[in-house]
Amino acid sequence: MNKKLIKLFIFINVLVFAALLVDYRQPEILAENYLQPQSLTEADMPEKIVKTDEEWHKLLTPEQYRITREKGTETPFTGKYNNFKEKGVFQCVCCGNVLFSSDTKFDSGTGWPSFWAPFSNKSIEMADDSSLFMKRTEVLCSRCGAHLGHVFNDGPQPTGFRYCINSVALKFVKKKGGDTPVPKKTRRSHRSNPDRLRPDHDLL
């Protein structure tokens, strides 16, 4: 009887140990799977531009500084790119990073230039914004951190997003013939990562 009890005790212990092994191994596998897609290399990211407030003041007009460095908003229907139909690309007014293409610009009727996708998924960064008693997603230049505007999920297809951007934060560069929005020779000459200039349709 005692031997049977001991055997039963050992059997239960083995079962518990096996169950514990399974429990401990599962999170490891999940963590590994979760972390892999997150690993970004330095080469994937555009080089950052960091300047002091004083330096930005010298480079920008007071209105450009207020919008881009102090997260301001231009008055709707007053921006120069709101009713703007020319073909080309829109760069960051602070650092020249290519942010949006005229190919994704649409008339949202909101009074601000609106796009349904950024130029590339490396052009911009996003951050939670809880100011003015609203929950919004702020859009920033990935290179210099300039405040550009906000993104909403009521945009047209194929993405369904509406990137609502201040004209003041943008600088338009006109398309000069051909299908490429910017002459590649000119653009590449002063940039270290030409891949950044190629439209990236991963988001679509």
What amino acid positions are annotated as catalytic residues? 164
Beta strands across the sheet bearing 98-101: 98-101, 88-92, 170-174
Of 93, 100, 94, residue with least CA distance to 164: 100
94 part of the interface to Zn ion, by CB under 5 A: yes
The least CB distance from residue 183 to Zn ion, in Å, is 21
Considering the complex, state which of residue 62 and residue 178 has its C-beta at the smaller distance from Zn ion: 62
Residue 119, number of CB atoms within 10 A of its CB? 25
The least CB distance from residue 142 to Zn ion, in Å, is 8
Of 87, 91, 115, residue with least CA distance to 180: 87
Rg (CA), the chain: 25
Q: Which of the 8 DSSP states describes residue 188? A: H
The least CB distance from residue 69 to Zn ion, in Å, is 11
Yes or no: say if 187 and 91 are a contact pair by the CB < 8 Å rule: no
Q: Report residue 101 as tokens.
A: 């293409």
Q: Which of residues 115-174 bind Zn ion (CB under 5 A)?
A: 141, 143-144, 146
Considering the complex, state which of residue 90 and residue 112 has its C-beta at the smaller distance from Zn ion: 90
The least CB distance from residue 54 to Zn ion, in Å, is 17
Considering the complex, state which of residue 111 and residue 137 has its C-beta at the smaller distance from Zn ion: 137
**How many residues sit in the footprint of Zn ion (CB under 5 A)?**
8
Residue 8 CA to residue 16 CA, distance in Å, equals 12
Q: Which of the 8 DSSP states describes residue 202? A: G
Extended strands (E) in 41-198: 88-92, 98-101, 105-106, 114-115, 124-129, 136-141, 147-152, 162-165, 170-174
Considering the complex, state which of residue 92 and residue 117 has its C-beta at the smaller distance from Zn ion: 92
95 part of the interface to Zn ion, by CB under 5 A: yes
91 part of the interface to Zn ion, by CB under 5 A: no
The least CB distance from residue 144 to Zn ion, in Å, is 3
Considering the complex, state which of residue 105 and residue 143 has its C-beta at the smaller distance from Zn ion: 143
Residues near Zn ion (CB under 5 A) are: 92, 94-95, 97, 141, 143-144, 146
